[in-house]
Structure 1
Amino acid sequence: MYIAHVRETDKAKQTLKDHLLGASRIAEAHGAKLGLKHVAGLAGVLHDLGKFSDEFQDYLDKAVFHPELAEKKRGQVDHSTAGGKLLFGMLHNKENTFHEKLLAEIVGNAIISHHSNLQDYISPTIESNFLKRVLEKDLAEYGLAVERFFQEVVPKAEFTEYVTKAVEEIKQFTDNSPTQSFFLTKYIFSCLIDADRTDTRMFEEQAQEEERIQHRPLFEHYYQKLMNHLTSLKESSEAKQPINVLRSAMSDQCESFAKRPSGIYTLSIPTGGGKTLASLRYALKHAQEYEKQRIIYVVPFTTIIEQNAQEVRGILEDNENILEHHSNVIEEEYSESEFGDEQEDGMITKKERLKLARDNWDSPIIFTTLVQFLNVFYAKGNRNTRRLHNLSHSVLIFDEVQKVPTKCVSLFNEALNFLKKSAHCSILLCTATQPSLENVKHGLLKERDGEIVPNLTEVSEAFKRVEIINKTAKPMTNEELAEWIRAEATSWGSTLVILNTKSAVKNLYEKLKGGPLPVFHLSTSMCAAHRKEQLNEIRTLLQEGTPFICVTTQLIEAGIDVSFKCVIRSLAGLDSIAQAAGRCNRHGEDRLRYVYVIDHAEEKLSKLKEIEAGKWIAGNIFANFKKKAEKYEGNLLSQAAMREYFLYYYNRMDAELNYYVSKVDKEMTKLLMFHAKENSYVTHFQKKNGTAFPLLLNGSYKTAADHFRVIDQHTTSVIVPYGDGRDIIAQLNSDEWVDDLGKVLREAQQYTVNLYSQEIDQLKKENALVMHLDGMVYELKESWYHDKYGVDLKGEGGMEFTSW
C-alpha cells in the first residue's frame, strides 16, 4: 500500500491512489467552470506521482512511525517533479503538436510548483528553472514511480485518452497570446492547489465532500430581502426628499442595467448616493440572469469592508454565507528547498493543518481588499493563488476603484480583462471619481456606453452639498492648524481633519487632546475591531449633534458612512479631496457646508510618490479654477475637473504604471509577457547557447511573484491584545483540537494589524512580540497596544479605557 498522508491524531493512512483520484476529482470540478475539466484534472492526478518511489515511502514510514531512524529531513525527498517530467516526456518532442507542448508546459509547471511558486520558464540569469526540473533533473526511481502510477491509479491507455481530451480543451480555450497563457497557467495552478489542500483537509478532518451551495435560489432569496428593504425606504417619511428620489432612481437604473450581458461597467454615483445597495441590487439581479456563483466586493481599505459587510448582513440577515477577508493571519515561509518542495511531505501536523484550513473564497458573498485581490494573481504564496479559480463566474464590484495603486494599474487592468474575456465575470467599477483606466498602455476593456447613470452632470449638481474653500496659499504647520481648529471647531460643530501621514495625524491629535472638545484618533495602526468601536462612538456623537474633532488619515475617505459639519483636508489628489468632501454634509442635512483644503507644511511625502504627484496636479487645477472657473462648470469636483485630473495624473505617472522591478531592471508586465513581442532573456539564451529556446512560454513567473508587493514594503499581520484577540491567540496556540481552524482565522482578522518589516524588527528587539507555531502566528504583548493609537512602538500602551 502506497501512502500519501498520515494523520497525526490517530496515525491513520491515506493511500496515494485515493489522494490522487480525490484531488483530480476536485480539480476537475474547478477546471470545468472554464471548460478545462481534464486540464485541471490532469494536474490533480499527477501532482504527487513522485510519492510512489521507495525513497519517499521509506522516508514517510520512518518519519512518522520510527523518527529515531529517520535519515532525511522534511522536504528533502522530491515528490513534485515526477508528474511534470512524465507530461513533458510524453508531450514535448519534435513530433508533438503546438497544443500538446503547451499543455505540458502549463500543467507541468503547476505540478512541479505545488509546494512553492510557479517556476520561471526563463529567468533573469538566462536559465530555465522549469527545464531543469522536467528535463534535466535525474530522479533515481522515476521509472519505478511511473510504472506504479499506471498500475495503481490509471491504466496507461486510459491516461493517454484523458490527455487527448485535455489537449482538445486547451485548443478550444486558448487564443495563444502570452497574456492569456499566464492567467491560464495561474488558473490551473489555483485549481490544483485548492484540490490538493481540500482533499488533504477532508482526510485529516474525516469529512465528507460538502454539498455545493445552490447559488441561484440563495441569490433569489437575497434579492427579495433587498427589495423588501428598498420598499420600506420608499414608504418612509423622507422618501420624497429630492436626494432620496434620485437615490431610488439610480437604484432602479442598476436593476435595468443588470439584464445586459456580462462586461466591465461603471457606476459613478456621487458620494452619499447609495452606492453599496445600488451595486448589490445590480449584482443580485445579474447573478440570477446569468448564473453567477459569487458576488465579490473589492475595496481599498479594511474600514470599508467592516462597514459594508455589516450593512449587507443586516439587510440579507445572513452571517454564515458572507465572508469578510481582510488579510492573511498566518505567515507562510516560501524558502524553496533544493527539490522545490516546501514543508508538506505527508505528515499532517497542527502547523500543516493551519495551512490546509479552508481559506479559498468559496463563500457566495465576499468582501475583500484590493491588496488581497491583486495578491491572488501576482503575489507569491499558495494561499493567495488558491483562491483564483473561485473568481470565475462572479460579479465583482470594485468600490472606490480610483484607489488602485498607480504602479499596479496595468496589472489590475490585465487581471480584469482576463476575468471578463475568459472567466465569465461581470465587473462594476464604483466611484464618484472614475479614473480613466482605459486610456493607458495596458488599457481596461470597458464596455462602450457602459456608465449606468446616464445623466451624471445633473446628478452631481443635485448632490452638491459642500463648497471647497482653497486655503493653500500659505503652508500651515500642525501648531497653526491646531490653533485654528481650537478657535473655530465649537462654532463649526463636528470637525473631521484628514492629513496625508500617520505621524502628522498623531502629532496633531496630541496637540488637540485635552481641549474643550472630545478628540478622536483613527489609524491603520488600530485593529479592525478597535476602529469599529471608535467609529460607533463617533456616529453616536454625530447623531446627537455634539461638537467634537476626529483626526485621521485617508482611511476614512473611501466608503465610510459618516457625515461631519466641517472637513479640513491636507492637499492631495483631486479624487482624495472629493472623497473627503463626501464625509461632509453627506446626507444634505444642511443646504451647504464647507470643506477647507490646506497645504500642510510638515508632511514628508518624498516616499509617497502618488500623493506627491496628486497634490501637485490638484494644485495646478486649483490655480486654473481661479482663472477660468467656467471650464470646470464652476465646481472644483465636477466630472470635467476629474477627467482633467486623471488625464494629467496618468500622463505624469506613465513610467510607474507597469510595476517596475528594480532588482532585475524590468517591468512586471514584461516578466509576465503581457503583449510583449519578444523577450530579451530569450534573445540572450539563443546567443549564449547557439540554439532556439525550446519552450513555447517564456515568462518569468517566479521572479515576478518574488518581487511583487502591492504595498512597497512587506507587511506582517500581528494579532493584538484587543477584545477577543486574546482568546483567539489562545485557541491557535492551544494543544486542544480546534474543529474549524478556518473560522478561527477569519475571526482573527478583526484583531490584526499589518506592520512593516522595520516595525516588526523594532518590536522583536524590544521583546514585544510572541511567536506561535514556529513563527506562523505573531502576537503583540499587552503594553504595546494603546487605547488611542493602536500599536505603540514605544511600549507605553495598556488597554485601560478612559472617557476621553
Structure 2
Amino acid sequence: MAEHLLAHSARDGDGLRHGLADHLRGTAWRAGAFGEIFGAGPLAAHCGLVHDVGKGSCEWQRGLIRAESSGGPVGVPHKHAGTWLLDQQGLGILAAVVFGHHGGLPSRARLRAELQFADDHPLVAEAIQRVGEIVPEIHLPGPIALPGWLTEPEAVAADPYALDLLVRMVYSTVVDADFLDTEAHFAAAARAVHPLSAADLVDRYERRRAELLSDANPSPVDGLRQEVYEQAVAAAGGPRGIYRLPAPTGSGKTLAAGGFAVHHARARGLRRVVVAVPFMSITEQNADVYRQLLDRDDEEPVVLEHHSGIDLDGGDANARWQRLAAENWDAPFVVTTTIRLFESLFSNKPAAMRRVHRLAGAVIVLDEVQALPDRLLVPITSALRTLTERFGSTVLLASATQPPFEVLTPLQATPIHEVVAEPKPLYKALNRVRYEWRLDPKPTLAQIAHGVAEQPQALAVVNTTKDANRLHQLVEQHRSALHLSTRMAAAHRRAALVEIKRLLKELEPVLVVSTQLVEAGVDLDFPVGFRAVAPADSMQQAAGRVNRGGRLPYGRVIVFDPEDGNKGVQSLYGAALEATRDRFGPHCAPDDLDALEGYYRARFDFHNVEQAGQEIQTERQAHDFPRVAELFRMIDEWTVPVAVPYGDVEELQRILVHLRSGYPGAGAQLRALRPYLATLPRGAAARAVAEGLAAPIVGDLIEWLGDYHPQRGIEITSPDPQELVF
C-alpha cells in the first residue's frame, strides 16, 4: 500500500525502517532551509521533495526488502521519476539535480537521453502515481518561485555562468539534505546544528587576540602589524564583494584576514567563514591559530579543519556510509585547502559537492592566492564573481605577492575593494632581507648542503620531495637537520614545526630542509634561508621565513640553481619560471612590487591564461558537468592520502577498522584520522598497493605498510611527472 512506502532499510538496534514520505519531506525541509540563503528556498525544497519519488514503484520496494535480507544493492533504478517530473514542471536543466543525486551531475546531452527513456518507462508513471497519493505536494499547483535574477534576461546575460553555479548550489542542498536525513534515520538522531554563526565570533576573537599579543615576545614590526589589522577591521564594514589584502610576509596577515572575516560577517549578517590555503601545512598552522582565538574547552568546537582530500565519490555507489562521511562544512569557521574549495565548485560528484551551498552567504578568505594555477584562473575568478554577485558571499584575496587578477576578463568590470590603501610604504618598511644569487656556475646539492651546515640556524627550501630527501641526507653528513614534506604525517610535520620553533626561540642550532610547504604562511624566523630557483612569488614567500620578526638589520636569502637537482621544475612552472629569469636576479630582487606586477602580467600572457580557461567556461555554459570536472584539475588531485604509522598506532588501527567496517559515524573517524595522513603521487600509491607496501581503506585512502623514516616519513621513488608535490 502507498502509505507504507519505504525509503531505506531497517536500522540496527530497533529495526525501524525509513518511510518514504518522511524521507522526502525531511529532505525537502533541509534543502529548502539551505537554499533560502541564496534566494532559492522553494526551488531547493521542491527538488528535495521529488528526488526519491522513483522509490515508489512496487519493483523498487520489493528490491529494498530483498536487499535488506541479502545485504546487496536494491538493483532497481529510482532517479528517473523525479527527473521526469521536474522536466515536465518546466525546470529544464535543474532536472539534472535529481538525476545526479547519487552518481553525479550529468551532461545536458545525457539528461535529454534519460528523459526520453523515462517518457515510456512504466515504473516512472507508477512511482509518481503511488507517491502522489501520500505526498501530493510533488505536483506543483503553479509556477515555482525562482531566484529573482533568474527571471531577468539582462541579469542572466550579464553572467552567462550564473545558471551553472545555481544548478551546483541546488544540487548541493539536495545532496546534503538527503545525506543528513538518511544519517538521522540510521543514527536514530539528527545531527545538531551548530549554535553559533560567524557573526557571533567577533567578541571572542578580539578578546583572545589581545591576550595572545600580550603574551607574545615584542617585535620591532608589532606597530606595522597593528596598522594592517586596523585597516582590515575598518574595511570589514564595507559592502559584500571582492576585497584584496596585500600584506608583506610577517605583517600579521593570518590575524588580519581572520579579523576582517569575523567583523565583516557581523556587519553583513553572514553565517560562515571559509579560509582556503594552498598547502596542508598552512591549514594545520592556521587552524591552530584560529582555534586559539575561537574555540573554548567547554563548548562545541567552532573551527573545522578539512584538508584530508579522501575521495569518497569513487568505488561502490551503494557504499552508503562512505558517502555520508563526506565533509559538509557544518561549522561557523572552516579552514581548508584551495583544492578542496574549488574541487567542490567544479566537481560533479555528490560527496565533493555536498558542501558547495555552505559557500553562499559566507566570507571566503583565499590566502596565498598567488599559488592558484594560471590555467584555471579564468573559471576560478568567474566563479568568485558569481558567488559575490548572485549568492551573497564576500571574497578576500590575501597574499604578500598579489597577482593583478583585475586584468582577467571575469573581474575587469567588477570592483575590487582595497583593504590596504597604500601598500608600497608598508612593503618598504617591512623589507628585511637581502638576496644573494648562486646561478652561474650552478652549485651542486652537496655544495649547498655544505653551505647550509656552516650556518648556526638555516632553512633550505627546494621544489620536489626527491630533492628535499636528498638534500636532507647530504646536510646530515655534516650536522643533524630536521625535514618537512607531505611524505610525513600531519602530526609528524606539526611535531617538527614545534621543535623548530623551540630551537629558534631558544637560539639553539637548527637546520631545516623542506619542500615548498614551509614557505607560505608558516610562522618561522631564520637568519638565513636557501631557496632553489623558482617563480618570483615562491622565492619571495620563502624569504618571508627569514628575519620575519625584524630583529636583524637584514636576513640573507641565497637563491641557487642546483646542477644536479630541480629536475622537472621547468615542466611544472613553465612560463612563470621563464618570466622570473627574465626579470629577477642580481639586478632586481623578487620583492620589487612594480617588477612583480610586470612579472604576473607577462606570466599571464605567456600562459595565455584567458584561452587556457575558455574550454572549461564553454562547457559550463553547455552544462556538461562531467566534462568540467574532468578539465578542472589542480595538482593536488594527483596525490592520494596515506595513513601512516606515526604516533598512537593503536588509535590509528581502531580508526581504520571502523572505516573498513562501513558503520555509521565514519565522518567523525575521518576527522580523527587527519593527524596520521601523509600524501603520495597517485601513480606511486598504486604501485605501493600492487607491491604490498600499502592497502586500500575507503575511497582512495590507503594504509602504508612499508617503512616510515623517523625524520623524512615515507621514502619511495617515483617516475611520476607529478613527483613535484609538497
Give the TM-score of the pair, scaled to structure 2.
0.92
Map of 1:52-63 to 2, 5 A cutoff? 52-63=56-67
2:388 and 2:498 map into 1 onto residues whose CA distance is 38
Match of 1:463 among 421, 427, 430: 430
Computing the radius of gyration from Cα coordinates, the structure with the larger value is 1
Amino acid at match of 2:405: L
Map of 1:674-753 to 2, 5 A cutoff? 698-711=622-635, 714-724=638-648, 726-734=650-658, 740-753=665-678
> Which residue number corresponds to residue 199 of structure 1?
181
> Which residue number corresponds to residue 495 of structure 1?
458
| 2:11–2:17 CA contact under 8 A, matched in 1 | no
Deviations 1:538-580 (A, max 9, x none): 1111112122321111111100000111011111111111111
2:490 and 2:380 map into 1 onto residues whose CA distance is 26
Q: Does 1:759 align with 2:726?
A: no
What is the CA distance between 1:56 and its match in structure 2? 0.3
Count residues in correspondence: 707
CA 1:709–1:161 in structure 2 vs 1: closer, same or farther (change >3 Å)?
same
1:325 and 1:438 map into 2 onto residues whose CA distance is 29
2:137 and 2:601 map into 1 onto residues whose CA distance is 60
Deviations 1:600-640 (A, max 9, x none): 222354465342433322222135x63xx6xxxxx541211
> Which residue number corresponds to residue 721 of structure 2?
none
> Which residue number corresponds to residue 278 of structure 1?
256
Q: Does 1:597 align with 2:525?
A: no
1:444 and 1:495 map into 2 onto residues whose CA distance is 43
> Which residue number corresponds to residue 724 of structure 2?
none
CA 1:303–1:212 in structure 2 vs 1: closer, same or farther (change >3 Å)?
closer
> Which residue number corresponds to residue 365 of structure 1?
333
1:447 and 1:717 map into 2 onto residues whose CA distance is 39
What is the CA distance between 1:131 and its match in structure 2? 0.7
CA 1:507–1:227 in structure 2 vs 1: closer, same or farther (change >3 Å)?
closer
Map of 1:431-446 to 2, 5 A cutoff? 431-443=399-411
Q: Which moved more, 1:705-714 or 1:383-392?
A: 705-714
> Which residue number corresponds to residue 186 of structure 1?
168
Q: Does 1:646 align with 2:571?
A: no
> Which residue number corresponds to residue 578 of structure 1?
540
Q: Does 1:261 align with 2:239?
A: yes
2:435 and 2:242 map into 1 onto residues whose CA distance is 32
| 2:172–2:355 CA contact under 8 A, matched in 1 | yes
1:358 and 1:237 map into 2 onto residues whose CA distance is 41
Identity %: 28
What is the CA distance between 1:224 and its match in structure 2? 4.0
Match of 1:333 among 294, 307, 314: 314
| 2:280–2:307 CA contact under 8 A, matched in 1 | yes
2:148 and 2:341 map into 1 onto residues whose CA distance is 31
2:77 and 2:496 map into 1 onto residues whose CA distance is 51
Amino acid at match of 2:617: T
1:465 and 1:788 map into 2 onto residues whose CA distance is 31
What is the CA distance between 1:226 and its match in structure 2? 4.0
Map of 1:383-462 to 2, 5 A cutoff? 383-443=351-411, 447-448=415-416, 450-462=417-429
What is the CA distance between 1:147 and its match in structure 2? 0.9
1:180 and 1:725 map into 2 onto residues whose CA distance is 48
Q: Which moved more, 1:453-462 or 1:384-393?
A: 453-462
| 2:186–2:664 CA contact under 8 A, matched in 1 | no
1:708 and 1:75 map into 2 onto residues whose CA distance is 33
Q: Secondary structure of 1:332's match? A: coil
1:610 and 1:571 map into 2 onto residues whose CA distance is 13
CA 1:581–1:712 in structure 2 vs 1: closer, same or farther (change >3 Å)?
closer
Unaligned runs of 5+ in 2: 719-726
CA 1:708–1:358 in structure 2 vs 1: closer, same or farther (change >3 Å)?
closer
> Which residue number corresponds to residue 22 of structure 1?
26
Match of 2:92 among 89, 97, 104: 104
Q: Does 1:535 align with 2:497?
A: yes
1:59 and 1:736 map into 2 onto residues whose CA distance is 24
Unaligned runs of 5+ in 1: 92-102, 122-127, 336-341, 344-350, 630-634, 661-666, 674-697, 796-804
Q: Which moved more, 1:360-369 or 1:145-154?
A: 145-154
Amino acid at match of 1:193: V
Q: Secondary structure of 2:680's match? A: strand
Deviations 1:733-769 (A, max 9, x none): 2498977432221121221122222112221222122
What is the CA distance between 1:189 and its match in structure 2? 0.5
CA 1:510–1:655 in structure 2 vs 1: closer, same or farther (change >3 Å)?
same
Q: Does 1:115 align with 2:102?
A: yes
Match of 2:617 among 665, 669, 673: 669
Amino acid at match of 2:379: L
What is the CA distance between 1:255 and its match in structure 2? 1.4
What is the CA distance between 1:657 and its match in structure 2? 6.5
What is the CA distance between 1:647 and its match in structure 2? 1.2
| 2:645–2:652 CA contact under 8 A, matched in 1 | no
| 1:564–1:585 CA contact under 8 A, matched in 2 | yes
1:372 and 1:768 map into 2 onto residues whose CA distance is 27
What is the CA distance between 1:358 and its match in structure 2? 6.2
Amino acid at match of 2:624: S
Q: Secondary structure of 2:418's match? A: coil
Amino acid at match of 2:225: R
2:689 and 2:87 map into 1 onto residues whose CA distance is 46
> Which residue number corresponds to residue 678 of structure 1?
none
Give the TM-score of the pair, scaled to structure 1.
0.83
Q: Secondary structure of 1:460's match? A: helix
1:554 and 1:333 map into 2 onto residues whose CA distance is 30
Map of 1:60-79 to 2, 5 A cutoff? 60-65=64-69, 67=70, 74=73, 76-79=75-78
CA 1:590–1:116 in structure 2 vs 1: closer, same or farther (change >3 Å)?
same
1:541 and 1:571 map into 2 onto residues whose CA distance is 27
> Which residue number corresponds to residue 98 of structure 1?
none
What is the CA distance between 1:139 and its match in structure 2? 2.1
| 1:569–1:577 CA contact under 8 A, matched in 2 | yes
Amino acid at match of 2:140: T
Q: Secondary structure of 2:440's match? A: strand
What is the CA distance between 1:47 and its match in structure 2? 0.6
What is the CA distance between 1:484 and its match in structure 2? 3.3
Match of 2:110 among 118, 123, 129: 129
What is the CA distance between 1:217 and its match in structure 2? 6.5
CA 1:657–1:732 in structure 2 vs 1: closer, same or farther (change >3 Å)?
farther
Deviations 1:151-184 (A, max 9, x none): 111257xx32364335878427962553111101
> Which residue number corresponds to residue 165 of structure 1?
145
| 1:715–1:754 CA contact under 8 A, matched in 2 | yes
| 1:38–1:163 CA contact under 8 A, matched in 2 | no
